[in-house]
Amino acid sequence: MNERMQALVDLLDVEQIDDTIFRGRNPDHPRPRVFGGQVAAQSLMAAGRTVPGILPHSLHAYFLRPGKPGIPIIYTVDRIRDGNSFATRRVVAIQRGEAIFNMSAQFHVEEPGPSHQLPMPEVPDPEQSLQRVQEAVRKQGGPAEGWWSRWRTEQAVEMRPVPLDDDNADPQTRGRQYFWVRATSEMPDDPLLHLCVATHTSDHSLLSAMRRPHGGGRGHDFNRFMSASLDHALWFHRPFRMDQFILYFQESPVTAGARGLSLGRYFTQDGELVASVCQEGLLRPVDPSRRGRG
């Protein structure tokens, strides 16, 4: 593994300090709060460590308080139920004595059953998407190679956006966006680790999908809204690897009452729907006269 991927694997390797108590690394960084995907992924890893040999099929979580960078996070796991086919865990993430996140996760022993799915959207493959993004940046006068180099060298999981023509899009589809995502190097075979990396990645850009129909999405004016994740849910349908390209399709079907909803789907390159995501977020308009004030 390369250095940045190893750093993410190490970040998710929560330390077990008691039977159901774990401590998560939390590096110091200049951002004002901990990335929610990190807390969700560490919570899932902590829960998974108490259910050996069985993989999670779903998680449902709430972001309660912003986490503070540089301070370790304690994860307490409740063994809610251990059945023949299913196991349920509840996890609370704690910083400085306060709960910042809670999650319920369920685990399922793999078994056969019927199969169907929605079709994968038709989008350019990862290499074509990269070329189109670079060309779009060049047309805008930006350093395309340098822009993409930053993504590839600073991220453990690269996200290749699929260019969209928002000017010609139907207003009902402007809340859609697509990314090809993949770990930047080969990962260990541990399937729980791949699901935790998928959980970490799933929190990226969902708020952007909510802002897009209102002129505040990726590449637009982020300062028009104050936004934050409120809750997060994830379902795993089939086994998959995060070191192979996954199409992450995101769409926001509704915003109302200063809140928005985003849905996501993970597709493998051969078209299998392997995971689904749902997130509600705060989308509060910012008074232009107060922009830039402390």
Mean pLDDT of the chain: 88
Choosing from 129, 177, 203, 262, which is the catalytic residue? Answer: 203
Separation of alpha carbons 248 and 241, rounded Å: 13
Q: How confident is the model at residue 216 (pLDDT cuts 50, 70, 90)?
A: low
Please tell me the predicted confidence (pLDDT) of residue 170.
Answer: 59
229 is catalytic: yes
Sketch the domain layout of the chain as residue ranges: 1-111, 125-294
CA dihedral 179, 13, 279, 169 (to 10 degrees): -10
pLDDT attached to residue 151: 47
Residue 219: pLDDT band (50, 70, 90) is very low
Confidence check: pLDDT of 152 > 60: no
Instruction: Note the pLDDT tens digit of each residue in 61-89.
Output: 999 999 999 999 999 999 999 999 999 99
Which of 229, 250, 252, 276 does the annotation list as catalytic?
229
Q: What was the pLDDT predicted at 101?
A: 98
8 A C-beta contact, residue 95 and residue 73:
yes
279 is known as an active-site residue: yes
Q: Which CATH number fits domain 125-294: 2.40.10.410, 2.60.40.10, 2.40.160.210, 3.30.559.10?
A: 2.40.160.210
Given a cut of 70, whether residue 221 has pLDDT beyond it is no
Residue 203 annotated to the active site:
yes
Q: What is the mean pLDDT of residues 106-128?
A: 94
Do 173 and 252 contact (CB within 8 A), yes or no? no
Helix, coil or strand: residue 168: helix
pTM for the full predicted model: 0.89
Homologous superfamily (CATH) of 1-111 is Hotdog Thioesterase (3.10.129.10)
